[in-house]
C-alpha cells in the first residue's frame, strides 16, 4: 500500500483509509461484531493504516469496535475520531464547548483502548462556540499528549483559516467525489495554501457510484439514504447516467466503476486520502486495489469532460442537515 502525507502536518497514512461508520451506524442494521472485526483486521493486513470513527457512530459502539479490532496493531495505525454532538447523539444538536471536547477525548481514549488520539476532528462546526475556543481546547489536548493532530469536518474556508491560526489543522474531512465537487471551488485552494490534507468521505457517493444501487433499490428505515433527496427513485434514475459513464470508462481499463471513481480522487492532489467504507470483504479488496490504478492525463481530461456534461440531480442532504454544513 502506498503512503500519503496529510498536508504539511507530518501525518503519514496509507493512500486509502477505511471509513468505519457503516459497520455500526447510518446504513441500516449494525454488522455482526466478529464480521466487523475481521474486516478491519483484513484492512490492516492489506496495508491500511488509517481508520476513521466518531463518538456519534452508534453512538459510541463504533469507537469500541475499533478499539478492540485494532488493539493488536495500535502502534502501526492512525486512528481518527470526532467530537461535536451533544452527548454523542446527532439528534440532540451540536456541542463543541471546550469542557465537552475534553470529556469526549477522555471517553474516546478508553473506548479506543489507547493513550492518544492520532487525529481529533470537530464533527460539525458549532455556531454557538467560537472556532478559536475549539482550536484552543484541542491545542491543550495536544500539549497534554492525549491528541496528536487537529482536524475539522465540513467547515467553510474562513472557519478553517481561523482555526488554523490557533492550532494547525492537519486535515479537513468533507464529502468529495465525482458526484459532489463543490470543494473544488474554495476548499481545495484553501487547503493547498495552508498545507492541510483532505480526507474525502463518501468518495463513492454513499455507494451510488459502485453501480450496485438503482432506481429500484429499497433502503432500510435506519439507512440514512432513505431521507436523502439525491436518493429518491427519480433522482437515482436521473443520476444513473453518471454510473453508466464510469462503467464504460472502467470497462476500457478492465476495472470497476468504483475503482475509476477512487482513482480519479487520488489523482486530484497528492494530499487527498479517501476513506471509503464497506461491510463486505470483496468491496474492501476492490476499493484498495484502486490505489494501483494510474489514470493518464488524457484519461483524466476525458473523465472531466464527460462528467461535467452530466448534471447530478437531488440535494446532498435534507434541509435540516444541510444547515450544519460549511459554517
Does 73 participate in catalysis according to the annotation? no
Place of cell 476513521: 52
The C-alpha atoms of residue 242 and residue 312 are separated, in whole angstroms, by: 8
Given the residues 25, 27, 57, 176, select the one marked as catalytic: 57
Element containing residue 56 per DSSP (H, E): none
Q: 319 with 325: CB under 8 angstroms?
A: no
Helix, coil or strand: residue 168:
coil
Cis peptide before 98 (omega within 30 of 0): no
Is the Cβ–Cβ distance between 19 and 199 less than 8 Å? no
Q: Are the C-beta atoms of residues 123 and 54 closer than 8 Å to each other? A: yes
Got the DSSP string for 87-139?
GG-GGG-B---HHHHHHHHHHHHHHTTSS-EEEEEESS--TTS-HHHHHHHHH
Which of 303, 249, 299, 265 is closest to 183 using CA atoms? 265
| 219: helix, strand or coil | coil
C-alpha–C-alpha distance, residues 126 and 124, integer Å: 6
> In degrees rounded to 5, what are phi and psi of residue 53?
-145, -170
Catalytic site positions = 57
Amino acid at each position: 500500500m502506498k503512503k500519503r502525507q496529510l498536508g504539511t502536518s507530518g501525518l503519514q497514512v496509507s493512500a486509502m483509509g477505511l471509513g468505519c461508520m457503516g459497520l455500526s451506524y447510518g446504513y441500516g442494521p449494525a454488522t455482526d461484531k466478529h464480521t466487523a472485526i475481521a474486516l478491519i483486521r483484513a484492512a490492516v493486513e492489506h496495508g491500511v493504516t488509517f481508520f476513521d470513527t466518531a463518538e456519534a457512530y452508534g453512538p459510541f459502539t463504533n469507537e469500541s469496535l475499533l478499539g478492540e479490532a485494532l488493539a493488536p496493531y495500535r502502534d502501526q495505525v492512525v486512528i481518527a475520531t470526532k467530537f461535536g454532538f451533544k452527548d454523542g447523539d446527532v439528534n440532540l444538536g451540536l456541542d463543541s464547548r471546550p469542557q465537552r471536547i475534553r470529556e469526549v477525548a477522555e471517553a474516546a481514549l478508553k473506548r479506543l483502548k489507547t493513550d492518544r488520539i492520532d487525529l481529533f476532528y470537530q464533527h460539525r462546526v458549532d455556531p454557538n462556540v467560537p472556532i478559536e475556543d475549539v482550536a484552543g481546547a484541542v491545542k491543550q489536548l495536544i500539549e497534554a499528549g492525549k491528541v496528536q493532530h487537529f482536524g475539522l469536518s465540513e467547515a467553510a474556508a474562513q472557519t478553517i483559516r481561523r482555526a488554523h491560526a490557533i492550532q494547525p489543522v492537519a486535515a479537513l474531512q468533507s464529502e468529495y467525489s465525482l458526484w459532489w465537487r463543490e470543494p473544488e471551488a474554495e476548499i481545495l485552494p484553501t487547503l493547498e495554501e495552508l498545507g492541510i490534507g483532505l480526507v474525502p468521505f463518501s468518495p463513492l457517493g454513499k455507494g451510488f457510484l459502485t453501480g450496485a444501487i438503482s432506481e429500484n433499490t429499497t433502503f432500510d428505515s435506519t439507512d440514512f439514504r432513505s431521507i436523502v433527496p439525491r436518493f429518491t427513485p427519480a433522482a437515482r434514475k436521473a443520476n444513473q447516467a453518471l454510473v453508466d459513464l464510469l462503467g464504460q470508462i472502467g470497462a476500457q481499463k478492465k476495472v470497476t466503476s468504483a475503482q475509476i471513481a477512487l482513482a480519479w480522487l487520488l489523482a486530484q492532489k497528492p494530499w487527498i486520502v479517501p476513506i471509503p467504507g464497506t461491510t463486505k470483504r470483496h468491496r474492501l479488496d476492490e476499493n484498495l486495489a484502486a490505489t494501483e490504478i494510474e489514470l493518464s492525463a488524457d484519461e483524466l481530461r476525458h473523465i472531466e469532460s464527460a462528467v461535467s456534461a452530466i448534471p447530478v440531480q437531488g440535494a446532498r442532504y435534507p434541509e435540516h442537515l444541510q444547515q450544519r454544513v460549511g459554517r
